[in-house]
Amino acid sequence: MSERYVIAIDAMGGDRAPNMVIGGLRRVCTEFPNVDFLVFGDESRLTELVDKHPSLKTRCTVQHAPDAVNNEDKVAYALRNRRQSSMALAINAVKEGEAAAIVSAGSTGALMAMAKLAFRTLPGIKRPAIPSVFPTRKQGKTLMLDLGANVECDAEDLVQFAVMGEVYARQVLGVDKPSIGILNVGSEDMKGHNEVREAAQILQNSVLPIHFYGFVEGNDIANGTVDVVVTDGFTGNIALKAIEGTANFLVVSLRRAMTTSLLTKIGALLARPALKKFWRELDPRRYNGAMFLGLNGICVKSHGGTDAVGFANAVRVAMQLIESGVNERIREDLDRIMVQRTDPQQTADA
Amino acid sequence: MSERYVIAIDAMGGDRAPNMVIGGLRRVCTEFPNVDFLVFGDESRLTELVDKHPSLKTRCTVQHAPDAVNNEDKVAYALRNRRQSSMALAINAVKEGEAAAIVSAGSTGALMAMAKLAFRTLPGIKRPAIPSVFPTRKQGKTLMLDLGANVECDAEDLVQFAVMGEVYARQVLGVDKPSIGILNVGSEDMKGHNEVREAAQILQNSVLPIHFYGFVEGNDIANGTVDVVVTDGFTGNIALKAIEGTANFLVVSLRRAMTTSLLTKIGALLARPALKKFWRELDPRRYNGAMFLGLNGICVKSHGGTDAVGFANAVRVAMQLIESGVNERIREDLDRIMVQRTDPQQTADA
């Protein structure tokens, strides 16, 4: 029998919470028979929702949270005044060892701040980052980080993201020797602002056992040129949403094009299985759920606007992270990498 | 009879130059019977290419340029040492009044630096910006700037881009009252770094007669939320290429999906006219050709990797800019706007 895990759920975060949260849990509960859920939020509403599904009822423990984080809350306000929120209590359950991970679709800023305060960062890591996986032309995957945790990043932050991204690609995504690129406006050494140039120089000259490719450009994300794309949270967030917006626009345009005449409708019908597969591969819900990488605890952020299908995927991400023992592996790797970085001699001797 | 114009062409810039340049001119020469071309580059090669097409020969004057800008040239090097390049001589033709615009597919950095030195910026404009038009879900268009001329921008630069973008959207794209958004990682006032927050504040509190929408996110580009999206050249360039890469990836995936079985192939055949229209609308060559906005002269940059179809479009953009008298209009509007900005009293009195 496989080990049993508990996942803490912030049931009040997200545009369609708590319904989409409970709907998401219902979708995954048969998939992961070894997981129980600690569900935080409005007790009466949650109990009513959970009770409707006998299969879910036996796996959920509802815990009342008298408050919830609001999307309009400033981060400092949430930290000070939302200590009894479903988000804060769910994070606390992980801190207290009652759960192995927390999943929330609530405000990114508040979630990051609360999780950082409760879990602290991994040794040697200054700031956590949000990674996400993108499908690529090569039918592989590219990991990009940071997607919005840090609006301003210096060279040292970018170097840490590169190291964490490398470990994540290797340990969680199973990439053999991940190649790392820094997102820039051109591939020449002299391009870009100081931070990216300095970070590239550090990675180029370092004795770290990582494969640094150099600079990559915006189109390299979808091209799958490297396994890990490193960028600051401002650029990363805008690139992520520009990509999502474009994919969405194209799908809508294509649907429109395929219904212009009877002939195209018949064509679309014949091509339906292929088109369905195509839509499915692009479905952003499939990519929902991003870890706060670099924290000493597993915190998965779901898109706020997602539905039950998307939330279920965020729970899947949490399970994958728990089962891969991601943080222990990152800690080991970071230890080794940091030692090598501060003491090149040791590498030479090893 | 319509007025005659001369366009100066840098025939040696771009990956497939000079063939694709001459091919591009051949495509547009019947479309614009009132345009002649001053073509700069390797005289013997160009003469040979031009002589093959009698219709083009009568419209082109080949001028020998003993040198060419190299993509690997640093900007400072190109400025100092490439004064006899096809790019420099073509720019000079505009400066000397021999041509109304210059089109080049050469290095962006060198082209911008040379054009800025030769043309200077419009009164009140500190730095020129590169705008481009994106198709949107609303079947309209969004103008985004800057797409790479300025890697680092302060709040004042962003405000100037907003003003120039507004005038361009109104005068060249024919948008009635263009709405302006600043690209950010969220729509709330407190989001983003200092530069975008400060720029938003200036635009919000200004007496400028422009419609400032507020912050927009990456997905708003394809959604067509505003008419003009303002951003720094680093973020803009990465967003542009991320969008291009995504569109490319989706088209390739869709093509792959549509050829998986006999049935889907028949479906694709039936839907062919609609699919063709769909591909055509997404063809990046249709959007090739970007003005350096804010210079006291018309300089159009073509994508370096484009072909004859794309280069022809860059020439079309130049024609459109010449015929709309874009710089005169921008100058008038800027004058008015700058006066209002420095002297709110005048607006109140007006």
Nearest to A136 among B135, B240, B249 (CB): B249
| Rounded Cα distance, B218 and B186, in Å | 9
pLDDT per residue as tens digits for the range B57-68: 999 999 999 999
Chain B CA closest to residue A242:
B218
Asked if B198 contacts B230 with a C-beta cutoff of 8 angstroms, the reply is: no
Angle, CA of B164, B167 and B171, to the nearest 5°: 140
Contact B234 A235 (CB under 8 A): yes
- Going by C-alpha positions, the residue among A15, A54, A17 that lies closest to residue A39 is A17
| Rounded Cα distance, B199 and B246, in Å | 30
B194, pLDDT greater than 60: yes
Among A77, A193, A219, the strongest candidate for a mutation testing the B interface, having the largest count of B CBs within 10 A, is: A219
Contact A247 B244 (CB under 8 A): no
B116 — pLDDT class (breaks 50, 70, 90)? very high
- Residues with Cβ < 8 Å from A42, sequence gap 6 or more? A11, A12, A18, A64, A65, A68, A86
Nearest Cα of chain A lies from the Cα of B267 at a distance, in angstroms, of 4
Nearest to B222 among A190, A245, A278 (CB): A245
Q: Comparing B333 with A64, which gets the higher pLDDT?
A: A64
Among B198, B220, B229, B238, the strongest candidate for a mutation testing the A interface, having the largest count of A CBs within 10 A, is: B238
Contact A267 B266 (CB under 8 A): yes
- Residues with Cβ < 8 Å from B108, sequence gap 6 or more? B130, B148, B149, B301
**Contacting residues of B for A134, CB less than 8 Å apart:** none
Average pLDDT over residues A227-237: 96
Burial class of residue B262, CB neighbours in 10 A (0-12, 13-18, 19+): exposed
Chain A CA closest to residue B237:
A185
Query: CB pairs below 8 Å between A and B: how many?
Result: 198
Average pLDDT over residues A202-210: 85
| Rounded Cα distance, A162 and A231, in Å | 9
**Contacting residues of A for B271, CB less than 8 Å apart:** 257-258, 263-264, 267-268, 271
**Contacting residues of A for B220, CB less than 8 Å apart:** 245
Asked if A314 contacts A302 with a C-beta cutoff of 8 angstroms, the reply is: yes
**CA gyration radius for chain A?**
21
Residues counted in chain B: 350
Burial class of residue B168, CB neighbours in 10 A (0-12, 13-18, 19+): buried
pLDDT for residue A348: 41
Contact A242 B245 (CB under 8 A): no
pLDDT for residue A337: 65
Name the strand (E) or helix (H) holding B292: none
Contact B151 A260 (CB under 8 A): no
Chain A CA closest to residue B265:
A271
B132, pLDDT greater than 50: yes
**Contacting residues of A for B261, CB less than 8 Å apart:** 273-274
pLDDT for residue B16: 93
Average pLDDT over residues B89-116: 96
Average pLDDT over residues A163-180: 91
Chain B CA closest to residue A272:
B264
B348, pLDDT greater than 50: no
Residue A321 tokens read as 């992270």
A338, pLDDT greater than 80: no
Q: What is the DSSP string of B180-216?
A: EEEE-S-SSTT-S-HHHHHHHHHHHH---SSEEEEEE
B159 — pLDDT class (breaks 50, 70, 90)? very high
A192 — pLDDT class (breaks 50, 70, 90)? confident
A346 — pLDDT class (breaks 50, 70, 90)? very low
Contact B148 A185 (CB under 8 A): yes
Q: What is the pTM of this model?
A: 0.88
Contact B238 A243 (CB under 8 A): no
**Neighbouring C-beta atoms of residue B126, cutoff 10 Å:** 12
- In SS3 terms, B273-288 reads as HHHHHHHHHHCHHHHC
Nearest to A257 among B244, B246, B278 (CB): B278
| Rounded Cα distance, B57 and B49, in Å | 9
- Residues A240, A243, A249, A251, CA torsion sign: negative
Q: Does residue B176 have a cis peptide bond before it, meaning omega lies within 30 degrees of 0? A: no
Q: Quote the mean pLDDT of chain B.
A: 89
| Rounded Cα distance, B271 and A8, in Å | 48
Among B246, B272, B275, the strongest candidate for a mutation testing the A interface, having the largest count of A CBs within 10 A, is: B246
A275, pLDDT greater than 70: yes
Contact A239 B239 (CB under 8 A): yes
Q: Comparing B140 with B106, which gets the higher pLDDT?
A: B106
Q: Comparing A209 with B153, which gets the higher pLDDT?
A: B153
Asked if A222 contacts B198 with a C-beta cutoff of 8 angstroms, the reply is: no
A350 — pLDDT class (breaks 50, 70, 90)? very low
Asked if B164 contacts B338 with a C-beta cutoff of 8 angstroms, the reply is: no
Distances B57 to A177, B119, B310 between C-alpha atoms, Å:
56, 29, 21
pLDDT per residue as tens digits for the range B66-92: 999 998 899 999 999 999 999 999 999
Contact B223 A245 (CB under 8 A): yes
Nearest to A242 among B239, B260, B266 (CB): B239
- In SS3 terms, A35-84 reads as EEEEEEECHHHHHHHHHCCHHHHCCEEEEECCECCCCCCCHHHHHHHCCC
Contact B252 A137 (CB under 8 A): yes
Q: Comparing B336 with B134, which gets the higher pLDDT?
A: B134
Asked if B277 contacts A277 with a C-beta cutoff of 8 angstroms, the reply is: no
Nearest Cα of chain B lies from the Cα of A70 at a distance, in angstroms, of 13
B350, pLDDT greater than 50: no
End-to-end Cα spacing for chain B: 40
**Contacting residues of A for B275, CB less than 8 Å apart:** 257
pLDDT per residue as tens digits for the range B235-279: 999 999 999 999 888 888 888 887 878 887 887 778 777 778 777
Highest mean pLDDT among A86-100, A153-167, B207-221: A86-100
**Contacting residues of B for A273, CB less than 8 Å apart:** 261, 263-264
Distances A81 to A149, A265, A290 between C-alpha atoms, Å:
21, 55, 26
Nearest Cα of chain B lies from the Cα of A276 at a distance, in angstroms, of 9
B349, pLDDT greater than 60: no
pLDDT for residue A340: 59
Average pLDDT over residues A321-332: 86
Burial class of residue A178, CB neighbours in 10 A (0-12, 13-18, 19+): buried
pLDDT per residue as tens digits for the range B290-343: 999 999 999 999 999 999 999 999 999 999 999 988 888 888 877 776 665 554
Nearest to A238 among B239, B257, B267 (CB): B239
Residue B51 tokens read as 């002589």
Alpha helices, H only, B258-343: 262-270, 272-282, 308-323, 326-342
Please give the ipTM for the structure prediction.
0.87
Q: Quote the mean pLDDT of chain A.
A: 89
| Rounded Cα distance, A131 and A140, in Å | 16
pLDDT for residue A345: 47
pLDDT for residue B341: 57
| Rounded Cα distance, B199 and B162, in Å | 9
Nearest to B271 among A148, A235, A258 (CB): A258
B25-B29-B34-B40 Cα dihedral, nearest 10 degrees: 20
| Rounded Cα distance, A285 and A289, in Å | 9
Asked if B101 contacts B321 with a C-beta cutoff of 8 angstroms, the reply is: yes
pLDDT over 90 for what percent of chain B?
63
| Rounded Cα distance, A94 and A79, in Å | 17
B177 — pLDDT class (breaks 50, 70, 90)? very high
Name the strand (E) or helix (H) holding A131: strand A131-135
